[in-house]
Amino acid sequence: MIEAERDFVLKQAEERDIRFVQLWFSDVLGQLKAFAIPVEELPEALSEGASFDGASIEGFSRADEADMIAMPVPRTFNSLPWRPEKAGVARMFCDILTADGEPFEGDPRRVLKRSMDRVRELGFTPYVGAELDFFLLAGPDDPTPIDSGSYFDLTPLDSANDLRRGVLIYLEALGIPVKDSHHEDAMSQHGVDLRHADALTIADSLMSFRLVVKEVARELGSYATFMPKPIEGVQGSGLHAHLSLYEGERNAFFDPTDEYYLSKVGRMFLAGLLTHAREMTAITNQWVNSYKRLVPGFEAPTHVSWGTRTRATLARVPLAKRGKESSCRVEYRAPDPGCNPYLMLAVILAAGVEGIRGELELPPEALANHIEAAAAGADVGLTPLPDTLPEALDAMRHSELVRGVLGDHLFEWFLANKVAEWAEHKRHVTALEIERYLPRL
């Protein structure tokens, strides 16, 4: 079958007048990495992969092996819609191999596939829908919203509509169907729902999505950011994962007789998410800035909790429309769009699987007033999420679950990288400190 796929890529590359093919992969922190090969090198790249210097990629470098191989996955071949029709550019996602041709343990795509295998061992296929936000700002060094204040004059009135339309067209061309696109609560903030697909496809799609949005924003002369909390005092950007497990054509989370329409499997999966929430927060929320989003008052979770209506819970079971099987799912609301989608989904699925394996009991639904009280600092029996990156790293450091999912190499590299990020941040004297302390002390 792989030979037919390669044949398809070669013939279609010619058919679509492709001159360069970008080979895409993710580094450990979820940054999209790419290098281009001329179409003449495509046959060789398809059969043997293309070598690159792993030492230049975050988290790939190891003293003993710098040479790595990017092995393109032919079924991800697609032309890039923002490049010219003539002499165009296409892309393929890649699996990363070591120089010996063995799968590289630090490859985030492989980490997710392994995690999906564990779900499959239980007889389920994981499906994921994603709902994520981003801001449209003046520039990478200027977080001024473009549809407010003085910038209102600098851009056409409907630049946000242009953006949404442009994004939809590019996404559809890349085969990423979008369910909904809307203006979010904060100024200049936008939200998009990606329709559910299998977990690997969604992770690939999220990588494409972030690039598409940045590309369209650039064409419109503005800047799109997936930074979790770019503007103080308004809502941050989240990446809510909507999860369900299917057994053949049956949604294993669905039970028409349950008050939440949630089956025993669904309850155990959700219980697994809650049990392991703290230890996987460093992966779902991986930046110092991520924790500025996880504060009370902005519909972001602060405590380990679940509910049906309250939006400040960590997990939500949206009450399925009239008990519709296909919309039955569990929504996990901690992640932000600055995460590595592969690692984020890998740890979430693993936590859910642990819940099913351990037949964990689901705690009762959290009440809205409890969540408010907990956010205000009262002890109502809810476990807080890590408050800062170092706290999240401490929780992760002792996690057998996260170590098992990431593998030793990636686990150690990630911790070291993030400890360094925090150390740098800690040394920094902020503007707020100067403002508050200088006049008083």
Partner 1 sequence: MNDVAETDDRPVALVGAGVASAAGALEADLRALRYEVVPFRLDRVPDRAPASLAVLAITGALVACVRASEELRRTSEALPILWVVEPPDLGALDRHGGLFDDFVRSPYAAPELDARLRRLRRAAGEGSADMLRIGRLEMDPGSYRASVDGRPLKLTYMEYELLRFLASRPGRIHTREAILRGVWGYDYYGGMRTVDVHVRRLRAKLGQEHGRMIETVRGVGYGLTDRG
Residue type, 140: P
CB of 11 to partner 1, least distance (A): 5
Choose between 330 and 375: whose C-beta lies nearer to partner 1.
330
Choose between 199 and 402: whose C-beta lies nearer to partner 1.
199
Does 3 sit near partner 1 (CB under 8 A)?
yes
Choose between 274 and 320: whose C-beta lies nearer to partner 1.
320
Considering only residues 10 through 39, tell me which ones interact with partner 1, judged by CB under 8 A: 11-12, 15-16
Q: Which position among 61, 125, 144, 289 is part of the footprint of partner 1 (CB under 8 A)?
A: 125
Choose between 11 and 426: whose C-beta lies nearer to partner 1.
11
User: Given the rule CB under 8 A, which of 150-158, 196-204, 232-240, 299-307 is the region that contacts partner 1?
Assistant: 196-204
* Side-chain half-sphere CA neighbours of 268 within 13 A: 14
Choose between 190 and 196: whose C-beta lies nearer to partner 1.
196
Tell me the backbone φ, ψ of residue 364, rounded to 5 degrees. Answer: -65, 155
Cβ–Cβ under 8 Å, residues 106 and 115: no
Choose between 114 and 403: whose C-beta lies nearer to partner 1.
114
Q: Which position among 143, 177, 296, 323 is part of the footprint of partner 1 (CB under 8 A)?
A: 177
Q: Which position among 59, 74, 338, 355 is part of the footprint of partner 1 (CB under 8 A)?
A: 74
Does 196 sit near partner 1 (CB under 8 A)?
yes
Cα angle 257, 261, 263 (rounded to 5 degrees) comes to 85
Q: Which position among 195, 311, 403, 409 is part of the footprint of partner 1 (CB under 8 A)?
A: 195
Does 83 sit near partner 1 (CB under 8 A)?
no
Q: Which residues contact 249 (CB under 8 A, 6 or more apart)?
A: none
User: Given the rule CB under 8 A, which of 32-40, 99-107, 138-146, 241-249 is the region that contacts partner 1?
Assistant: 241-249
User: Given the rule CB under 8 A, which of 34-42, 49-57, 246-254, 335-343 is the region that contacts partner 1?
Assistant: 246-254
Choose between 11 and 436: whose C-beta lies nearer to partner 1.
11
CB of 126 to partner 1, least distance (A): 8
Does 327 sit near partner 1 (CB under 8 A)?
no
State the maximum Cα–Cα separation within the chain, in Å, rounded to a whole number.
72
Closest CA to 50 of 35, 30, 33, 66: 35
The CA-based dihedral angle spanning residues 292, 296, 297, 303, taken in that order and rounded to the nearest 10 degrees: 120
Tell me the backbone φ, ψ of residue 349, rounded to 5 degrees. Answer: -60, -40
Does 353 sit near partner 1 (CB under 8 A)?
no
Does 77 sit near partner 1 (CB under 8 A)?
yes
Q: Which position among 246, 311, 365, 403 is part of the footprint of partner 1 (CB under 8 A)?
A: 246
Sort 274 into a burial class: Cβ within 10 Å, 0-12 / 13-18 / 19+.
Answer: buried
Cβ–Cβ under 8 Å, residues 300 and 236: yes
Cβ–Cβ under 8 Å, residues 400 and 382: no
Cβ–Cβ under 8 Å, residues 331 and 262: no
Cβ–Cβ under 8 Å, residues 368 and 310: yes
Cβ–Cβ under 8 Å, residues 46 and 72: yes
Does 9 sit near partner 1 (CB under 8 A)?
yes
The residues pairing with 137 across neighbouring beta strands, listed in sequence order, are 145, 223
What is the distance in angstroms between the CA of the first residue and the CA of the last residue of the chain? 72
Which residue has 């190499």 as its token pair?
Answer: 409
Q: How many residues bind partner 1 (CB under 8 A)?
A: 36
Does 87 sit near partner 1 (CB under 8 A)?
no
Q: Which position among 130, 137, 197, 270 is part of the footprint of partner 1 (CB under 8 A)?
A: 197
Does 2 sit near partner 1 (CB under 8 A)?
yes
Cα angle 193, 199, 205 (rounded to 5 degrees) comes to 50
- Mapped onto helix, strand or coil, the DSSP state of residue 139 is strand
Helix axes 159-173, 199-219, angle to 10 degrees: 140
Tell me the backbone φ, ψ of residue 334, rounded to 5 degrees. Answer: -70, -45
Choose between 98 and 115: whose C-beta lies nearer to partner 1.
115
Q: Which position among 61, 78, 289, 417 is part of the footprint of partner 1 (CB under 8 A)?
A: 78
Choose between 112 and 312: whose C-beta lies nearer to partner 1.
112
CB of 15 to partner 1, least distance (A): 6
Choose between 45 and 277: whose C-beta lies nearer to partner 1.
45
Closest CA to 27 of 348, 405, 397, 413: 413
Q: Which residues bind partner 1 (CB under 8 A)?
A: 1-5, 7-9, 11-12, 15-16, 74-79, 113, 116, 120, 125, 127, 172-173, 175, 177, 195-198, 200-201, 246, 248-249
